[in-house]
Chains A and B, each alone.
Chain A
Amino acid sequence: MSIHTVSKRLRQLLSRDAVLDRPEDLMLYEYDGGLAKGTPELVVFPQTTEQVVAIVRAANEFKIPIVPRGAGTGLSGGAVPSKGGIVIVFSRMNKILEIDTANRRAVVQPGVINTELSAALARHKLFFAPDPSSGRASTIGGNVAENSGGPHTLAYGVTVNHVTGLEVVLPSGELVHYGGKAADSAGYDLTGFFCGSEGLIGIATSITVKLSRVAESVATLLGIFNSVDDAANTVTSITGEGITPAALEMLDGLTLRTVEEATHAGYPMDSGAVLLIELEGLKESVEEQAEAVAKVCTRNGAREVRRAKDEAERALLWKGRKTAFGAIGRITPSYYSQDCVVPRTKIAEVLRLIEGVSKKYGQRVANIFHAGDGNLHPAILFDLRDPEQLHRVLEMSREILTHCVSLGGTITGEHGVGIEKQELMSLMYTENDMEIMRRLRDAFNPEGTMNPEKIFPIRRGCGEARVSSVKPEVVEVAG
């Protein structure tokens, strides 16, 4: 009954078309880019901060769960309403409020899309650095919630490194401010803490981001290798030379062949791995680094190093990388993409492990990842219609992630924990570690109504629960 009262009230507060409650409409908000699923009872589209406050307060009166949602491109179930309740969609809070070139800041509403912000900044020769591969759809609010990365985080850092201020609606419905345009402020760094908190401690309704200057010169190189090991060793050799590329991406043999068939980016079909290396900066420094990188590749057994001659060639090389997951979709009914990180010196080791796991379980794995950061995205190919295969895939993931953690790595580099990895948190963190994090959640979200049942283990015999809640097709645009 309570949801109907709230629904009625919100229809009066927001415009009529800003509240959805028909089952056929609600179905569209059951999932995000990940595997989990949950049906909301109400979906609302606020246009102002005041409306967000009103929605949160109305929900609180009846202790109705709230799940904030950007574009739903997240891969860990962060925007999935697993406990029902209200999904607040930010697609209508999509205004760039201010572009402040003198301070190199922009103030945006949470629903602004990454590429829209980039487009608005282009004429100022500025950009917002986080560049998730879902950037054509993903929102800055979602970037903040998940602390998103992307191929260029190697040199530029992740979202938290580019946010200086937030306007936040707390789970209590109170509107507060953290930070501002200044880089630092007296008191705790709540802005930093909020980034990556996956919607558990509040909803950002306005975000102040740092802007970076577009580099004068860019060089994009493609290193072609006969083996994954040679490519992996090249990664550490490049950073060992004191070079920090803007991006350093790897595609293994299976991936590059699949991509080549789909995009004709020019990757040789018989190679074992390619490295896509991008250098940015002063033209003098880019030239020197490009020469050095080419030498390092050759020294590590590259059979060829190509350099994009112009923007069109550069775009083609990147197209292969950016559409890789789409291409993989052509050769498999479904795939499950992981997001583990290892120290970059362990890349070769972990790739060998993944190969072993792949053989052991009899499921193919395509590797495509941010090699410079050691952030791997092994995509396990399978058929979702076969429950046994799905079971194997989840087992494989766990095995791979366990190994990554044992090497000093993490279970997620940029996709978040959400629902997908909540039962895997204990691979990384002890009960004490999580108890303190829970205390922090409870300090901000005492009723647990804001994005409930996320991040922390809920011990529901998860494997089984999730298998049954999987949606029929996997559509991923992984980082």
Chain B
Amino acid sequence: MTTATTTLRTVELATIVGEKFVAEAPAKLSVLAVDGVTPSHSVAPGSVDEVAAILTYAHEHDLTVVPAGGFVHQEIGRTPEQVDILLRLERLNSIEHYDPGDLTIGVGAGATIGEIEAMLRDQGQILPIDIAHADRVTIGGAMAVAAHGPLKHFYGGVREFCLGVRYVTADGKAAKAGARVVKNVAGFDVMKLLIGSFGSLAVITSASFKLFPAPAVTRTFVCQFAKLEEAIAFRDSVVDSPLSPMCVEVLSPRAYDKNAWTVALRAGGSERVLARYTGELGSAVTKALDAFEEQKFWTDAQQLGQESPVLLSVSVPPSIAGKVLADAEQIAAANDLSFTAWGRVAIGSLLFAFDGGMAESYVSAVDSLRRTLPRDASAVVNRCPAALKPSINVWGASPSDMNSMAAAKRALNPKDNLNRGRFLL
């Protein structure tokens, strides 16, 4: 691209968002590179209309657009060939409505999970997206990657509590779907398509969510076992019991205690309810954590895998979670990799980190692991060195029909200029 067209583009983008919110200097933009690909322009729109105008412009000029929030999950996906416009949603961060009595909230895509959490805390309510870097992860980003933490065990993923969304299609149509009430079946559930679409369908500009009352008291029961099978048997007994914990998290030896497989159960309720947990769990409990200790346990758990070069998000039918953990451990050993695993073991939502190996050993481990999985399981590489991306299959296979996905994509992102080349299709 010549300097002349770059400058012209800057001027044109500036007429949409104002000069102050367009950047084109490579020096400024290199810190915003996506897998080492520096965007030609960065724009930060201040309204839905501006987002629509930018996307219309990009659509008309065949420019590729990468939507961006807090840059926490931007490393997920294939390497883009080029990034013409980095579309920063950080200015769309208003709280559109918060109605404690209704247990609902509507927020701009650029609002961070941390800001929302802080606001809800005062009212004793939660939005159950408990993830690392909450101070940076935005609502738009959390929806795009279907972010989840240990609370997913009880509350489900974002898809289960997102009530409505405002979004702009790749060709610049601003639209909404859903509503802000907890029950609504008017029109198609576009939210479901956008959640977990990694910005490949449309740009989310705001969303409404159902909130939940925070439990009065919580306690975490740390239960440790010498063998994985024992940990899984314990999980089964919990699932079959009348207990309904908020979290049932497995932690492999490297994740918490090198001598044990740990299952951490977090329960909420009154002292009487928590006493019932103590009684039911009996001798399985190694220690019970309260208050600060409990907080620290879960904060530490969020840090797992943050430094690992290769991180996988694995979703399997719950009954094979034990087998998959065992297989993954063995595959890691066979490839001379160290292996750390954790996750929502009762619902089959797991995370694996591989460390300390050569490039080819990571590729081999991921391929081997995928070969052990049934058709309806998924293993997505959430992180790997950019250099590995050409040889590693980031997304793996999907159990869902690819032609149907392509049809949905054609409807919302007809020229494939949103996150082109980065997603599964």
Binding site for B on A (CB under 8 A): 100, 102-105, 146-147, 149, 153, 157-158, 160-161, 165, 168, 170, 174, 176-193, 195-197, 213, 215-217, 236, 239-244, 281-282, 284-285, 288, 341-345, 370, 373-375, 408-417, 421, 425, 428-430, 432-437, 439-444, 455
Check A408/B180 contact, CB under 8 A, given A161-B156, A176-B404, A180-B317.
Answer: yes
Closest to A342 in B: B181
Closest to B377 in A: A182
| CB atoms of A188 and B102 under 8 A apart | no
CA distance A165 to B197 in the complex (A): 18
B175 interface neighbour in A160, A417, A433, Cβ under 8 Å: A433
Shortest beta-carbon distance from B108 to chain A in Å: 17
Q: Does B103 contact A (CB under 8 A)?
A: yes
Interface residues of B in 241-278 (CB under 8 A from A): 242-244, 269-270, 272-273, 275-276
Closest to A405 in B: B179
Shortest beta-carbon distance from A124 to chain B in Å: 10
Shortest beta-carbon distance from B94 to chain A in Å: 16
| CB atoms of B160 and A186 under 8 A apart | no
B378 interface neighbour in A185, A239, A343, A443, Cβ under 8 Å: A185
Contacts of A434 in B (CB 8 A): 187
CA distance A103 to B317 in the complex (A): 6
Closest to B280 in A: A282
Q: Does B359 contact A (CB under 8 A)?
A: no
Q: Does B196 contact A (CB under 8 A)?
A: yes
Shortest beta-carbon distance from A399 to chain B in Å: 17
B169 interface neighbour in A174, A436, A442, Cβ under 8 Å: A436
CA distance A79 to B189 in the complex (A): 20
| CB atoms of B181 and A429 under 8 A apart | no
| CB atoms of A413 and B189 under 8 A apart | no
CA distance A183 to B157 in the complex (A): 9
Q: Does B27 contact A (CB under 8 A)?
A: no
Sort chain B's interface into a size bin: 35 or more
| CB atoms of B317 and A242 under 8 A apart | no
Check A443/B408 contact, CB under 8 A, given A180-B399, A242-B215.
Answer: yes
Total A-B residue contacts, Cβ distance less than 8 Å: 276
| CB atoms of B403 and A176 under 8 A apart | yes
Contacts A373-B182, A425-B186 given; 4 further ones with Cβ under 8 A?
A186-B380, A343-B104, A413-B184, A436-B412
Contacts of B275 in A (CB 8 A): 284
Shortest beta-carbon distance from A415 to chain B in Å: 7
Shortest beta-carbon distance from B215 to chain A in Å: 7
Shortest beta-carbon distance from B129 to chain A in Å: 15
Closest to B380 in A: A186
Shortest beta-carbon distance from A214 to chain B in Å: 9
Closest to A100 in B: B319
| CB atoms of A288 and B399 under 8 A apart | no
Contacts of A174 in B (CB 8 A): 403
| CB atoms of B185 and A146 under 8 A apart | yes
Q: Does B349 contact A (CB under 8 A)?
A: yes
A-B contact pairs, 30 of them (CB 8 A): A102-B318, A179-B376, A182-B315, A184-B157, A184-B349, A184-B378, A185-B377, A187-B400, A187-B402, A187-B425, A188-B197, A190-B404, A282-B269, A284-B273, A285-B269, A343-B181, A344-B101, A344-B182, A374-B182, A408-B179, A408-B180, A412-B184, A413-B181, A421-B186, A430-B176, A433-B177, A436-B177, A437-B177, A440-B408, A443-B407
Interface-facing stretch out of B29-37, B66-74, B390-398: B390-398
Contacts of B319 in A (CB 8 A): 100, 102-103
| CB atoms of B347 and A183 under 8 A apart | yes
B176 interface neighbour in A153, A374, A429, Cβ under 8 Å: A429
- B307-339 vs A: 1/0 string, CB under 8 Å? 000000001111100000000000000000000
| CB atoms of A177 and B401 under 8 A apart | yes
| CB atoms of B405 and A412 under 8 A apart | no
Q: Does B97 contact A (CB under 8 A)?
A: yes
Contacts of A216 in B (CB 8 A): 242
| CB atoms of A153 and B376 under 8 A apart | no
Contacts of A165 in B (CB 8 A): 376, 399
Closest to B178 in A: A410
Shortest beta-carbon distance from A168 to chain B in Å: 8
Closest to A195 in B: B189
| CB atoms of A179 and B400 under 8 A apart | yes
CA distance A192 to B400 in the complex (A): 12
Q: Does B193 contact A (CB under 8 A)?
A: yes
Closest to B423 in A: A187
| CB atoms of B173 and A187 under 8 A apart | no
Check A188/B179 contact, CB under 8 A, given A177-B401, A415-B185, A425-B186.
Answer: no
Shortest beta-carbon distance from A33 to chain B in Å: 15
CA distance A197 to B191 in the complex (A): 13
Check A182/B376 contact, CB under 8 A, given A244-B212, A284-B276.
Answer: yes
Interface residues of B in 213-242 (CB under 8 A from A): 213-216, 239-240, 242
| CB atoms of B183 and A197 under 8 A apart | no
Interface residues of B in 13-32 (CB under 8 A from A): none
Contacts of A437 in B (CB 8 A): 177, 187-188, 190
Closest to A200 in B: B188
CA distance A276 to B407 in the complex (A): 45
Contacts of B179 in A (CB 8 A): 341, 408-410, 428
Shortest beta-carbon distance from A263 to chain B in Å: 26
Q: Does B415 contact A (CB under 8 A)?
A: no
CA distance A105 to B318 in the complex (A): 10
| CB atoms of A410 and B186 under 8 A apart | yes
Q: Does B410 contact A (CB under 8 A)?
A: yes
Contacts of A345 in B (CB 8 A): 99, 101-102
| CB atoms of B186 and A242 under 8 A apart | no
Shortest beta-carbon distance from A138 to chain B in Å: 14
Shortest beta-carbon distance from A117 to chain B in Å: 19
Shortest beta-carbon distance from A348 to chain B in Å: 11
Contacts of A428 in B (CB 8 A): 179, 186-187
Contacts of A176 in B (CB 8 A): 400-401, 403-404
A180 interface neighbour in B174, B180, B244, B375, Cβ under 8 Å: B375
Check A417/B405 contact, CB under 8 A, given A179-B376, A288-B273.
Answer: no
Contacts of A192 in B (CB 8 A): 159, 189, 191-193, 195
Contacts of B407 in A (CB 8 A): 443-444
| CB atoms of B405 and A188 under 8 A apart | yes
Contacts of A430 in B (CB 8 A): 175-176
Counting chain B CB atoms within 10 Å of each CB, the highest count among A149, A284, A414, A455 belongs to A284
Check A432/B173 contact, CB under 8 A, given A188-B196, A242-B215, A373-B182.
Answer: yes
CA distance A410 to B212 in the complex (A): 21
Contacts of A411 in B (CB 8 A): 186
Shortest beta-carbon distance from A38 to chain B in Å: 21
| CB atoms of A282 and B185 under 8 A apart | no
Shortest beta-carbon distance from A386 to chain B in Å: 30
Shortest beta-carbon distance from A351 to chain B in Å: 16
Contacts of B184 in A (CB 8 A): 341, 410, 412-413
Counting chain B CB atoms within 10 Å of each CB, the highest count among A183, A193, A216 belongs to A183
B101 interface neighbour in A157, A236, A244, A409, Cβ under 8 Å: A236
Q: Does B39 contact A (CB under 8 A)?
A: no
CA distance A343 to B104 in the complex (A): 9
CA distance A168 to B405 in the complex (A): 13
Shortest 6 CB-CB distances between A and B: which pairs?
A: A180-B376, A192-B192, A242-B213, A176-B401, A216-B242, A187-B398
| CB atoms of B400 and A185 under 8 A apart | yes
CA distance A416 to B184 in the complex (A): 9
